[in-house]
A and B are shown apart, each in its own frame.
Chain A
Amino acid sequence: MGDGTTVVTPDVGFVRSLQEAGADTLKRCYQCATCSVVCELTPKDNPFPRKEMVMAQWGMKDELAKDPDVWLCHNCNDCTKYCPRGARPGDVLSVLRKTAVAENAFPRFMGTIVGNPGLIILALAFPVILFGIFIAIRMGSGQPLFPEGQVVFSKFFPIHYIDPIFITTATLVMLSFVVSVSRFWCRLNVQPYKLLAYGQFMPSLIATIKEIFLHTKFQKCDANNERTLTHRLVFFGFIGLFITTNWGVFNIYVLGWDSPYSLTDPRILALFHGSKELVFLFYLAFKVFGNVSALALLIGGVMIVSNRLKDKGFVSKTSSFDWLFVAIILILAITGLLSEMLRLADVAIPAYTVYFVHLVFVFYIIAYLPFSKLAHLVYRTVAILYSKMALRDVM
């Protein structure tokens, strides 16, 4: 046999790990290919998820790692609905994506910790301790745990603590992604889709981003089309909150306008030529944008839960990994909005407590981005981009 032949030895452990991660039905597949026929997203040539099913059954870890197709799947579960054997290809692909995230993670142990729902306490303990130390430092200068007077979060956890923490974290996340994505790209970029020409990069990237924003693939989903709306809400909610955060940074460091954004702050009034009305409108725009984004996230999260609770039989059985992620989105949105309300109500202890929890989960979302389910933001984008460049993804 020539080069390139896969040498197969039994990897029962890998199959078992897939089963334990939620793909417990994967062995049922008998290769009728109904899944590939009903899938609206699969390319005509060498379609998924049939071949992924047999690769998973055979425990072909390396083959799966270099398969861009698992990311072309948007988990709409048409395949699972029509599978005559109850093999749930939708769930299997979802577990395979999770496996790919863990496999490409840098540092790898983070992939293991975040990928394992049982270690959530460990993952949350880190920000709790970290933030606790900072609060302790603040208290070291004689301040009480819960500052007195009007509720102002920066009194509880000063901005000059938050920024270095999160800027460092974000930088590390970026670095992690650079390593992970280059690993991922190298895995993808082998036969049969090895890219010969890179000339298509920009058009492919534009097409990819356009497609992601328009949710074109989601709209093709037949069995579970509510997901287009819920994903849009969560997706644009996160983007809105990302913009809000950066807007806040802009306010502080560019405009010099600190939280709690006093409308009579002379610096901001000077900027708007003394017009209180314009300052108020600017303030209102900022607040409304942030709140709407948070609400979008909350509503999206609630809809995901309610859709999943509706027993459609075919819908993703949802691993604990998945539930964990939904729970974190909800906690994030709820603690965020609740902090705001408690702050306005000016009840210090609850407000500061909820804010602390909120901070911990914000940290979770950002710091663990390359290892959590949210990593699909990057992996899927890269995989779709790659597939478009390789003329694999024809949409």
Chain B
Amino acid sequence: MADNSKIGVYICTDCGIGESLSIEGLEKVAKSELHVPVCKSHPFLCSDDGVQVIRDDINKEGVNKIVIAACSARVNTDMFDFDQSLYVTERVNIREHVAWTQPPNTEPTQAIANDNLRMGVMRISKSEAPVPNTTDVERTILVVGGGNAGLTAAIEAASAGYKAVIVEKASSLGGWAKKNYKGYPVKPPFNELLAPSIDSKVKAVEGNPAIKVYLNSKILQIAGEPGMFDVKIDNAKGESSSEETFRVGAVIMATGWKPYDASQLSAFYGYGRYKNVVTNVEMEAIALKGKIARPSDGKPAKSVVFLQCAGQRDENHIPYCSVVCCNVSLKQAKYVRESNADAGAYIIYKDMRTPGIYENFYKATQDDPGIFLAKGEVRAIEEAPDGSLLVDIDNQLLGKDMRIQADIVVLATGMVSNMLPDGMAVNAVTPEYVGELITKKTQDGDIQELNIFPWTLNLKYRQGPEMPHLKYGFPDSHFICFPYETRRTGIYAAGAVRHPMDGLQSTTDATGAALKAIQCIELTAQGKAVHPRAGDTSFPEFRLESCTQCRRCTVECPFGVLDEDEKGTPQAHPYRCRRCGTCMGACPQRIISFSNYSVDMISAMLKSLDVPSEGEEPFVVALICENDAYPALDMAGINRMNLNPNYRFISLRCLGGTNLVWVTDALSRGIDGLMLIGCKYGENYQCHFIKGSQMASERLSKVQETLGRLNLEAERVEQVQLAINEWDQLPRILEDFSEKLKGFGPNPFKGF
């Protein structure tokens, strides 16, 4: 291909570029220095006219690598859209990153634009149009769990023309929704409880030929990758059980929730010790029997106390809020009132949380003369000889201790994700994967190893049989931007397994997940990445003959793309890949590359820079994440902030792709400092590839050794965590690093 490549450089002079830069200067760099065969400037390149100039060159001159030196890569993508299977397009940002952040017509400003053009041309010369890896896919969606979320997902998938298979461990469909006496209202006037509606969904599933249901079943294994997951289940039929296998294109994990183990609340709340202390789940069962009566002796309940957040928002039990319990208690308070007009229902809360439309339900319920609400804390619960309960509370609205006499005490126990095996403590889940730490004796001493519990999905992935979790057993996803995207491509979590939610929300959630599953199947068929580089057709390629089986790539891939054979040689499941390049950054042998993204490419770009051989100001290269840091830089430009002119920016798909060889490449070229600007990591990460920026930081921690070998200060390399909305801090960040570098003096390799 290299022989056939013909580069065309197109410089736009609009939007202040022409007034700020010497276009002849840029053309001279392209033509005389870089020997680009075609180089043109245009006053309005993103117009139909401008784009036609490029198209003409493609058609008549045979240009197949198009460098557009103009605005940010994030804008005008619809205009500069050339068939990616035939042509490579490279955007060189001389507008936001140069003309808009630098004083016009100065030598340093021109130098940045020239360098950006050099790097762009170098990048494209090392880049080839990827060949899309299309495939046959199975247009069936596996739905794990037959509760409200699972039923909804299956129905939605079927109505979009796909097939669905529901695997349910219980003997019937419907889940928790079937165990409710009534539901709380979701539309005006919000004062009538609703009859349960789950039966209509169950019927819709049972009568749908596109949906197959396996009851009494569990998953033995899910192997493969998006478009072609092979599922093996154990399907119990009466006494016997049988294994069945089938293929699906995507998976929706709708395994829901379980109530918190109330026996843990025995000491304080008396659950298990006092017969009339029940959970909110048990209260539904009481209501289903007809009258609200005491479990101990069947006497009608005249006074019922609901204790909110029982074992919730409590570090010793469930540290989080389960969101639904306030509404559930309001609903159950109405059960009490409907059962007996003179009965009272007390709700003792920490905060009344009825978000969104449910504020109306709260208002309507509050109006009932027999429902008594108060912010308060429980001090103790005692049982009276007649079986009634004496609940001592600190009524914080009155600043007063009170004792309420109750026939029933209902504990608003919370929801636990079914990602957690039964009986497992929510507040002490092992990090990243649900399992247990076991100590292994090795020659190097004892090491701690995580034994991940197989529980629901039984994935055949190198990284473990279940989904990674973020906290408390909720499957990890990019919570802010891409809530449905878990860390396993093609597997989507929906409903209360993902975080506590009610039926209405889980319906919406399951609908969204079904559409994501469909999108995944269709993009996979076309060989395209699903997320977040949706439509990317590149694939990582492995030069396995040079592989040393170090397993860094297989360990570090955040998405479990790579399995390995016994020797440790990586075996890719390409359709699981999100094209972040973390494997590429991890590989010490540099054997992993993409046709349009490689270690060598970035090295060549570093080497293409015109590094000043002397000068007071430190010369810095910043590797920036294309998802947050690059647009943050655009924002700085849009807001016309002045940036330090001695920085050069190279955008990466993710900082996770940072290969340590670039540190050597940069510093040995006389570059004074290397900065990595990427996403925040840790608990509140915003990395699009989840662990990329964290991986980069781990790798950088090992760079000391390299720098020591070059006789350089470790602080010359620095990683900065920056979210897109922190763009206003960029000038200060660049200035601070520059100041720090001044303290070290110039890079001794300068001029070599």
A interface, CB within 8 angstroms of B: 1, 5-13, 15-16, 19, 27-28, 30-31, 46, 51, 54-55, 57-59
Q: Inside 8 A of B363's CB, which chain A residues have their CB?
A: 28
- Please state if B303 and A10 are interface contacts (CB–CB under 8 Å): yes
The reply on B282 being an interface residue by CB < 8 A is no
Stretch of B55-63, B370-378, B454-462 contacting A (4+ beta carbons < 8 Å): B370-378
- Please state if B373 and A57 are interface contacts (CB–CB under 8 Å): yes
> What is the chain A residue whose CB lies nearest that of B375?
A31
The reply on B341 being an interface residue by CB < 8 A is yes
Q: Inside 8 A of A27's CB, which chain B residues have their CB?
A: 366-369
Contact of A5 among B374, B375, B401 (CB under 8 A): B401
- Please state if B370 and A55 are interface contacts (CB–CB under 8 Å): no
- Please state if B403 and A12 are interface contacts (CB–CB under 8 Å): no
Task: Using known A-B contacts A27-B366, A27-B369, determine if residue A54 contacts B374 with beta carbons closer than 8 Å.
Answer: yes
- Please state if A46 and B372 are interface contacts (CB–CB under 8 Å): no
B interface, CB within 8 angstroms of A: 302-303, 341-344, 346, 352, 363, 366-370, 372-375, 379-380, 392, 397-405
- Please state if B397 and A12 are interface contacts (CB–CB under 8 Å): no
Q: Inside 8 A of B403's CB, which chain A residues have their CB?
A: 1, 5-8
Chain A interface main SS type: mixed
Task: Using known A-B contacts A27-B368, A28-B366, A31-B397, determine if residue A6 contacts B402 with beta carbons closer than 8 Å.
Answer: yes
- Please state if B366 and A13 are interface contacts (CB–CB under 8 Å): no
> What is the chain B residue whose CB lies nearest that of A51?
B398
Q: Inside 8 A of A10's CB, which chain B residues have their CB?
A: 302-303, 342-344, 346, 370, 372
Q: Inside 8 A of A6's CB, which chain B residues have their CB?
A: 400-403
- Please state if B344 and A12 are interface contacts (CB–CB under 8 Å): yes
- Please state if A5 and B369 are interface contacts (CB–CB under 8 Å): no
Task: Using known A-B contacts A15-B369, A19-B369, A28-B367, determine if residue A9 contacts B405 with beta carbons closer than 8 Å.
Answer: yes
Instruction: Write the nearest CB–CB distance from B81 to chain A, whole angstroms.
Output: 53
A15 CA to B341 CA in the complex, in Å?
12
Instruction: Write the nearest CB–CB distance from A259 to chain B, whole angstroms.
Output: 54
Instruction: Write the nearest CB–CB distance from A59 to chain B, whole angstroms.
Output: 8
A9 CA to B368 CA in the complex, in Å?
16
- Please state if A1 and B370 are interface contacts (CB–CB under 8 Å): no
Instruction: Write the nearest CB–CB distance from B353 to chain A, whole angstroms.
Output: 13
14 new A-B contacts, CB < 8 A, other than A8-B403, A12-B343, are A1-B379, A1-B401, A5-B402, A6-B400, A7-B402, A7-B403, A8-B404, A8-B405, A9-B405, A12-B369, A16-B369, A27-B369, A30-B366, A54-B374
Q: Inside 8 A of A5's CB, which chain B residues have their CB?
A: 392, 401-403
Our count of residue pairs bridging A and B at CB distance below 8 angstroms stands at 72
A58 CA to B368 CA in the complex, in Å?
11
Instruction: Write the nearest CB–CB distance from A358 to chain B, whole angstroms.
Output: 42
A13 CA to B342 CA in the complex, in Å?
7
Q: Inside 8 A of A13's CB, which chain B residues have their CB?
A: 342
> What is the chain B residue whose CB lies nearest that of A9?
B405
Most chain A beta carbons < 10 A, residue from B367, B375, B400, B405: B400
11 contacts between A and B (CB under 8 A): A6-B402, A7-B404, A10-B344, A11-B344, A12-B342, A12-B344, A27-B367, A27-B368, A54-B398, A57-B373, A59-B369
Contact of A55 among B398, B401, B405 (CB under 8 A): B398
Q: Inside 8 A of B400's CB, which chain A residues have their CB?
A: 6
Q: Inside 8 A of A19's CB, which chain B residues have their CB?
A: 369
A211 CA to B403 CA in the complex, in Å?
40
Most chain B beta carbons < 10 A, residue from A27, A30, A51: A27
> What is the chain A residue whose CB lies nearest that of B302?
A10
Q: Inside 8 A of B375's CB, which chain A residues have their CB?
A: 31
Instruction: Write the nearest CB–CB distance from A27 to chain B, whole angstroms.
Output: 5
A10 CA to B305 CA in the complex, in Å?
11
A1 CA to B401 CA in the complex, in Å?
8
A16 CA to B337 CA in the complex, in Å?
14
A16 CA to B368 CA in the complex, in Å?
9
> What is the chain B residue whose CB lies nearest that of A6?
B402
Task: Using known A-B contacts A9-B344, A31-B397, determine if residue A58 contacts B374 with beta carbons closer than 8 Å.
Answer: yes
A58 CA to B398 CA in the complex, in Å?
11
Q: Inside 8 A of A55's CB, which chain B residues have their CB?
A: 398
A46 CA to B375 CA in the complex, in Å?
17
A9 CA to B305 CA in the complex, in Å?
11
Instruction: Write the nearest CB–CB distance from B379 to chain A, whole angstroms.
Output: 8
A28 CA to B367 CA in the complex, in Å?
6
Q: Inside 8 A of B372's CB, which chain A residues have their CB?
A: 10, 57-59
> What is the chain B residue whose CB lies nearest that of A46?
B399
A13 CA to B370 CA in the complex, in Å?
9
A293 CA to B341 CA in the complex, in Å?
51
Closest 7 CB pairs of A and B: A10-B344, A15-B369, A12-B370, A8-B404, A27-B367, A54-B397, A7-B403
Instruction: Write the nearest CB–CB distance from A202 to chain B, whole angstroms.
Output: 33
A31 CA to B405 CA in the complex, in Å?
24
Q: Inside 8 A of B379's CB, which chain A residues have their CB?
A: 1
- Please state if B370 and A9 are interface contacts (CB–CB under 8 Å): no
A303 CA to B206 CA in the complex, in Å?
72
- Please state if B405 and A7 are interface contacts (CB–CB under 8 Å): yes
- Please state if B370 and A15 are interface contacts (CB–CB under 8 Å): yes
A231 CA to B322 CA in the complex, in Å?
54
Q: Inside 8 A of B342's CB, which chain A residues have their CB?
A: 10, 12-13
> What is the chain A residue whose CB lies nearest that of B344?
A10
Q: Inside 8 A of A16's CB, which chain B residues have their CB?
A: 369
A51 CA to B405 CA in the complex, in Å?
22
- Please state if A51 and B302 are interface contacts (CB–CB under 8 Å): no
Q: Inside 8 A of B380's CB, which chain A residues have their CB?
A: 1
> What is the chain A residue whose CB lies nearest that of B370?
A12
> What is the chain B residue whose CB lies nearest that of A16?
B369
Q: Inside 8 A of B397's CB, which chain A residues have their CB?
A: 31, 51, 54
A350 CA to B402 CA in the complex, in Å?
62
Q: Inside 8 A of A28's CB, which chain B residues have their CB?
A: 363, 366-367
Instruction: Write the nearest CB–CB distance from B15 to chain A, whole angstroms.
Output: 49
A149 CA to B399 CA in the complex, in Å?
72
A12 CA to B342 CA in the complex, in Å?
6
Q: Inside 8 A of B402's CB, which chain A residues have their CB?
A: 5-8
Instruction: Write the nearest CB–CB distance from B637 to chain A, whole angstroms.
Output: 44
A30 CA to B401 CA in the complex, in Å?
20
Instruction: Write the nearest CB–CB distance from A349 to chain B, whole angstroms.
Output: 52
A38 CA to B654 CA in the complex, in Å?
55
Q: Inside 8 A of A54's CB, which chain B residues have their CB?
A: 374, 397-398
A76 CA to B93 CA in the complex, in Å?
67
Q: Inside 8 A of A15's CB, which chain B residues have their CB?
A: 369-370
Instruction: Write the nearest CB–CB distance from B740 to chain A, whole angstroms.
Output: 50
Instruction: Write the nearest CB–CB distance from A123 to chain B, whole angstroms.
Output: 28
A133 CA to B374 CA in the complex, in Å?
57
A13 CA to B392 CA in the complex, in Å?
23
A58 CA to B374 CA in the complex, in Å?
9
Q: Inside 8 A of A59's CB, which chain B residues have their CB?
A: 344, 369, 372
> What is the chain A residue whose CB lies nearest that of B359?
A30
Q: Inside 8 A of B405's CB, which chain A residues have their CB?
A: 7-9
Most chain B beta carbons < 10 A, residue from A6, A12, A16, A51: A12
Instruction: Write the nearest CB–CB distance from B378 to chain A, whole angstroms.
Output: 12
Instruction: Write the nearest CB–CB distance from B632 to chain A, whole angstroms.
Output: 40
Instruction: Write the nearest CB–CB distance from B364 to chain A, whole angstroms.
Output: 10
Instruction: Write the nearest CB–CB distance from B246 to chain A, whole angstroms.
Output: 53
- Please state if A1 and B369 are interface contacts (CB–CB under 8 Å): no
> What is the chain B residue whose CB lies nearest that of A13?
B342
A7 CA to B370 CA in the complex, in Å?
17
Q: Inside 8 A of B399's CB, which chain A residues have their CB?
A: 46
A12 CA to B369 CA in the complex, in Å?
6
Instruction: Write the nearest CB–CB distance from A10 to chain B, whole angstroms.
Output: 2
Task: Using known A-B contacts A28-B363, A31-B375, determine if residue A9 contacts B369 with beta carbons closer than 8 Å.
Answer: no
A100 CA to B247 CA in the complex, in Å?
76
Most chain A beta carbons < 10 A, residue from B352, B369, B379, B400: B369
Instruction: Write the nearest CB–CB distance from B388 to chain A, whole angstroms.
Output: 10
- Please state if B344 and A1 are interface contacts (CB–CB under 8 Å): no
Contact of A9 among B303, B367, B401 (CB under 8 A): B303
A270 CA to B739 CA in the complex, in Å?
113
Instruction: Write the nearest CB–CB distance from A63 to chain B, whole angstroms.
Output: 8
Instruction: Write the nearest CB–CB distance from A35 to chain B, whole angstroms.
Output: 13
